[in-house]
Structure 1
């Protein structure tokens, strides 16, 4: 019987990491083995070096630069570039720019956190074997990007004006969340949401949340 697939779980929420580990211990017994975890970019790179995982379950939004920065640093670190693990994004975000940006950064797959334990184990096995794995809706984003239906460069240029937190607020507001709901979702104050929203509208030269919703929909960011 083959050795279990060595997995590193990277996410800045400790409770989520614990949940993933418990789910994999149940659904992936004898198939996967969570050998380490990390909460930010620096810890993730250090754990790749120390624990030598086969597959890294990687959140897109992390303190210190995000999942793409983890992949960039691993690829450019002496001693790691020749033993780079496979990266599988596991994120709450299903926005086109996150999916496309993460795949361009080097991930072999992208699944959302609504995935079940058995589905996640299957995705890990496929990525470890060299396959590309996407949740069905997200695969469409990647195909559209290659077909030219999504102007990736234009999307990146617009989003580069926003901070990571502003992007999170923008996406939730564009989806119709109230300021109170955004504050609860992101664990920030309503006043902070208002401040971020004002900054988003100013940077994107929009005047209302309704214009923001249209702007995000046109770019397939919802």
Structure 2
């Protein structure tokens, strides 16, 4: 019988070091203010507004947790995770997004994020989530946890979601989701600041790429995949 003892894991001291990634400066400023005013448990050590600046900030600081928006210029949140994990695989990511669409949740989790919460989360819950992710826990908003369970159980065909969505441009995806939610062409145009004619063009393109005949089939397609 050996008397060898395992070295104890050193306890974390000081605040969790966080890099904040979002393409809206006002949002970053608001989150920084809320987190730093509400608690001494979090310290913002860097920020990023797109893939390039985010990767640079993360690699320069090697934080405990990255608060990561899903939609970013330059390739999106999943691309940030892949680039960082190529050289710093231990950096942990917590997605913080306005989107609760299944493909966004599954996409960043597959890329390597340890959690996903929406921007409606309270400051206290966000601070708690940062600590949990930093200590290797997984954190999801209640509704989003179902997407992840369904994906791993096979209830959602993740491969087919990726393959179908890859055919659509970012703008076509935006139009598709609004149409599937029951928006009229006029309402979509107003929401996305484009003309009704442009909406019609995008809808036609979406239907053709997904091999669907009308907006009712499109709604069923999106609902079945939990995209709306």
TM-score relative to the length of structure 1? 0.89
- Structure 2 match to 1:175: 181
CA distance in 2, matches of 1:178, 1:112: 26
Query: What is the CA-CA distance between 1:51 and the residue it aligns to?
Result: 2.4
CA RMSD of aligned residues (A): 1.8
CA distance in 1, matches of 2:187, 2:200: 12
Query: What is the CA-CA distance between 1:32 and the residue it aligns to?
Result: 0.4
Structure 1 unmatched runs, 5+: none
Cα 1:13–1:181 shift into 2, 3 Å: farther
- Equivalent pairs counted in the alignment come to 216
Q: Give secondary structure in 1 for the equivalent of 2:100.
A: coil
* Counterpart among 48, 58, 82 of residue 72 in structure 1: 82
Cα 1:14–1:176 shift into 2, 3 Å: farther
> Counterparts of 1:63-212 in structure 2 under 5 Å?
63-76=73-86, 80-81=87-88, 84-183=90-189, 185-186=191-192, 188-191=193-196, 192-212=198-218
Larger Rg: 2
Query: What is the CA-CA distance between 1:194 and the residue it aligns to?
Result: 4.0
Structure 2 unmatched runs, 5+: 1-11
Query: What is the CA-CA distance between 1:116 and the residue it aligns to?
Result: 1.1
Query: What is the CA-CA distance between 1:70 and the residue it aligns to?
Result: 0.4
State which drifts further: 60-69 or 15-24: 15-24
* Counterpart among 179, 204, 227 of residue 221 in structure 1: 227
CA distance in 1, matches of 2:20, 2:180: 30
Query: What is the CA-CA distance between 1:181 and the residue it aligns to?
Result: 4.3
> C-alpha deviations, 1:125-173, integer Å up to 9, x for none?
1001110000011111111111111111111111111122322222222
